[in-house]
Amino acid sequence: MKKIVVLGGGISGYGSAILAKKKGFDVLLSDAGRIADRFRARLDEWEVPYEEGGHTEERILAASEVIKSPGIPDTAPIVRRIREKGIPVISEIEFAGRYLDGARCICVTGSNGKTTTTSLIYKILRDAGWNVALGGNIGESFAYSVATGRYDWYVLELSSFQLDGMYRFRAHIGVLTNITPDHLDRYDHSFENYAAAKMRITQNMTSRDWFVYSGDDETIWRQLPKYDLRMRQLPFAARNAVASGAGDAFLLDGVFTATAGKASVEIDTAQMRIGGLHNAYNAMAAALAALAAGVDPGQIRRSICDFAPVEHRLEPCGDRGGVEWINDSKATNVDSVWYALESMKRPVVWIAGGTDKGNDYGPLKDFAREKVHTLVCMGIDNAKLQREFGGIVPAIVSCPTFDEAMAAAKRAARPGDVVLLSPACASFDLFKNYEHRGECFKSWVKEHA
Q: Are residues 261 and 343 in the same domain?
A: no
pLDDT for the residue numbered 382: 87
Q: Are residues 152 and 299 in the same domain?
A: yes
For 25, the enclosing helix (H) or strand (E) is none
Segment 414-435, tens digit of pLDDT: 999 999 999 998 877 789 889 9
Q: Are residues 232 and 275 in the same domain?
A: yes
Q: How is the beta sheet containing 247-252 ordered, strand by strand?
A: 132-136, 153-157, 104-109, 173-176, 210-214, 232-237, 247-252, 255-260, 263-268
Q: Are residues 301 and 441 in the same domain?
A: no
Percentage with pLDDT > 70 across the chain: 100
Segment 231-240, tens digit of pLDDT: 999 999 999 8
Q: Are residues 61 and 116 in the same domain?
A: no
Segment 261-302, tens digit of pLDDT: 999 999 999 999 988 888 999 999 999 999 999 999 999 999
Q: Are residues 71 and 100 in the same domain?
A: no
Q: Are residues 85 and 165 in the same domain?
A: no
Work out how many domains the chain is built from and give that number: 3
Query: Is 238 within 8 Å of 277 (Cβ atoms)?
Result: yes
Q: Are residues 67 and 126 in the same domain?
A: no
CATH number at residue 165: 3.40.1190.10
Question: Rounded to an integer, what distance in angstroms lies between the CA atom of residue 294 and that of residue 161?
Answer: 30
CATH number at residue 380: 3.90.190.20
Q: Are residues 115 and 247 in the same domain?
A: yes
Choose one of 90, 112, 127: the last residue of a domain. 90
Domain with 34, as residue range(s), is: 3-90
If pLDDT is split at 50, 70 and 90, which confidence band does 342 have?
confident
Q: Are residues 155 and 62 in the same domain?
A: no
Q: For strand 263-268 and strand 255-260, is the pairing parallel, antiparallel, or unpaired?
A: antiparallel
Query: Please, what is the end-to-end C-alpha distance for the chain in angstroms?
Result: 59
DSSP three-state, residue 176 = strand
Choose one of 274, 306, 338: the last residue of a domain. 306
Percentage with pLDDT > 90 across the chain: 76
Instruction: Indicate whether 97 pLDDT > 90.
Output: yes
Q: Are residues 196 and 118 in the same domain?
A: yes
Q: What is the pTM of this model?
A: 0.79
Q: Are residues 85 and 110 in the same domain?
A: no
Choose one of 90, 120, 143: the last residue of a domain. 90
Of 205, 145, 142, which is closest to residue 170 (Cα–Cα)? 205
